[in-house]
Amino acid sequence: MRLLNKTDYLKNMRNKTKMSAGFTLLELMLVIGIAGVILTMGIPSFMDSVKSNRLTTRTNELVTAFNFARSESIKRGVRITVCKSTNGSSCLTSGSNWTEEWIVFTDQNNNAAYDSASETLLRVQANPASNITMNGTTNIANYVSYMPTGRSQLIAGGAQAGTIKVCDDRTGNVGINLTLNTVGRVNTNRSFACP
């Protein structure tokens, strides 16, 4: 094996350095093109993930409000009602859309309407996402009310059960059904068709 002297070694190293000094324009354009294709395919998928997460978050907020109302009715020994609202201080009794916001309050007079003079407002939840719709079936179109036993009950006395369909601006099987059963428990089911 031949040993290189210092001059030959430095000359050899300079030649290697010149050969691997950087990228050619063709290589750079190829990498940028591949990155563009990957981003073009990935961005729509990412946006769907963001929308799905917003839909899930909004559904979970309503489930949390129902569970909170149920636990408070058991703890306090009084009827607790969750109703849809537009101003955070009164119940909305028209339509079936829970989209705006909702309030949770003690309902001592059993009328499913918040009376600020005699009842306690426990929670107000606003809707920051305007493209999400939450439509309830007849029995839970305007309010959900829990008795001290933990059961959901209409103000007329019958068992309260129904479904709230949560959708956003997408079409297809992207919706979430929030189901209230007759004992007051809430379940969610995914992949329901939205308009």
Question: In which region does residue 172 sit, left (phi positive, over 0), alpha (psi from -120 to 50) or beta (all else)?
Answer: left
Which pLDDT score is estimated for 184? 94
Q: Beta strand pairing status for 162-167 and 101-106?
A: unpaired
Number of structural domains in the chain: 1
* pLDDT, average across residues 34-49: 83
* pLDDT, average across residues 73-80: 97
> What band does 72 get if pLDDT is binned at 50, 70 and 90?
very high
What is the share, in percent, of the chain residues with pLDDT greater than 90?
66
Q: What is the pLDDT of residues 94-139, one digit of tens each?
A: 888 898 899 999 999 999 999 999 999 999 998 776 789 999 999 9
Q: How far is CA 20 from CA 7, 8, 24, in A?
A: 21, 19, 10
Domain of residue 144: give its range: 25-131+138-159
Assigned token pair, 17: 């350095």
SS3 state at 186: strand
Whether 186 maps to a domain, the answer reads no
The domain that holds 114 is classified in CATH as 3.55.40
pTM for the full model?
0.79
